[in-house]
């Protein structure tokens, strides 16, 4: 009986140990020509997490540059065509040949230091699929109370404009509408735009998030639109150093900043 009890307790401990290990979030290290950034990848975005680990282990990121850098906003990399960069070239269109389905979760937001997937805009990418390899790390800025309303208005206005453009294009090409007048088409589009706007809650920054954006900063206008799948746990000063580097008119650093290695350390 004692042996059976011991075996039972041992089994429970093993299960607890396995569950504890499974809950641990992977940690990766990005070694750049400006220093090292250590990131934790989130388990609640498993597609992006596993894809990033796969690319890291295959050395996909080695030799690419941070091709888009905007002070007080973010630093972006992951374009394989930026290896052996040419002085006057613009990068940002390359990838591994596939996209990833969005994993946008309400618990993650664009505070300073988060890792997120780049993507094409809503007009051509309404499903908000992520680039298979391009990512950005948020530097952002600190916000005051008076700035949040302006951010909310900008996001809501952008949603309406995108809806107008998308729906107008769809209805203009719809064979069922070939005989209607321009005024009737306008009325139809306006009705569908209002339905689209009313079916979606207006963009609003919660009080809790406002406090974070006021204290540490970030880029709140991106919230709810891009997949965030990790965060910096060491090396924010490196993110700042890269973000503050001088750039040309197309946001490419004047001095190329390379990813030398991406290593999975847990």
Pairing of the two strands 68-70 and 74-77: antiparallel
Query: What is the tens place of the pLDDT at every residue in 252-266?
Result: 999 999 999 999 999
Mean pLDDT score, 224-248: 98
pLDDT for 196: 87
49/117 same-domain check: yes
Alpha-carbon distances of 91 from 113, 225, 250, rounded to whole Å: 23, 22, 10
Pairing of the two strands 114-117 and 135-138: antiparallel
pLDDT for 3: 45
**H or E segment and range at residue 64:** none
Total domains present in the chain: 2
178/260 same-domain check: no
Instruction: Tell me, yes or no, whether 58 lies in a domain.
Output: yes
pLDDT more than 90, % of the chain: 83
- Confidence grade of residue 10 (pLDDT, cut at 50, 70, 90): very low
Instruction: Tell me, yes or no, whether 49 lies in a domain.
Output: yes
Q: Is 172 helix (H, G, I), strand (E, B) or coil?
A: helix
136/153 same-domain check: no
pLDDT for 4: 53
Query: What is the tens place of the pLDDT at every residue in 58-78?
Result: 999 999 999 999 999 999 999
**H or E segment and range at residue 239:** helix 236-243
114/59 same-domain check: yes
**H or E segment and range at residue 100:** strand 99-100
Lookup result for tokens 């997937």 = 117
153/122 same-domain check: no
End position of a domain, from candidates 198, 226, 241: 198
Alpha-carbon distances of 176 from 12, 22, 185, 187, rounded to whole Å: 64, 53, 11, 15
Q: Integer distance in angstroms from the first to the last C-alpha of the chain?
A: 40
39/171 same-domain check: no
248/128 same-domain check: yes
122/161 same-domain check: no
Dihedral over Cα of 149, 154, 227, 254: its sign: negative
29 beta partners: 38, 263
Give burial (CB, 10 Å; 0-12/13-18/19+) of 105.
middle
Q: Is residue 204 within 8 Å of 152, Cβ to Cβ? A: yes
């Amino acid at each position: 009986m004692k042996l059976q009890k011991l075996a039972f307790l041992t089994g429970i401990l093993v299960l607890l140990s396995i569950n504890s290990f499974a809950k641990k979030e992977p940690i990766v290290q990005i070694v750049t020509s400006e220093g090292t950034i250590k990131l934790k990848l989130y388990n609640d975005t498993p597609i992006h997490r596993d894809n990033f680990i796969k690319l890291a282990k295959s050395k996909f990121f080695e030799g690419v540059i941070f091709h888009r850098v905007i002070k007080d906003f973010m630093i972006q990399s992951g374009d394989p065509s930026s290896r052996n960069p040419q002085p006057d070239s613009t990068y940002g269109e390359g990838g591994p040949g596939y996209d990833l389905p969005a994993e946008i979760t309400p618990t993650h937001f664009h505070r300073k230091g988060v890792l997120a997937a780049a993507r094409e805009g809503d007009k051509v990418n309404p499903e908000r699929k992520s680039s298979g390899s391009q990512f950005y790390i948020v530097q952002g800025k600190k916000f005051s109370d008076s700035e949040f309303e302006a951010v909310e208005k900008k996001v809501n206005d952008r949603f309406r404009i995108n809806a107008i453009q998308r729906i107008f294009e769809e209805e203009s090409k719809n064979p069922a509408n070939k005989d209607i007048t321009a005024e009737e088409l306008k009325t139809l589009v306006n009705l569908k735009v209002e339905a689209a706007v009313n079916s979606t809650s207006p963009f609003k920054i919660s009080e809790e998030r406002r406090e974070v954006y006021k204290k540490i900063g970030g880029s709140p206008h991106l919230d709810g639109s891009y997949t965030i799948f990790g965060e910096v746990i060491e090396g924010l000063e490196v993110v700042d150093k890269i973000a503050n580097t001088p750039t040309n008119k197309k946001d490419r650093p004047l001095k190329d900043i390379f990813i030398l290695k991406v290593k999975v350390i847990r």
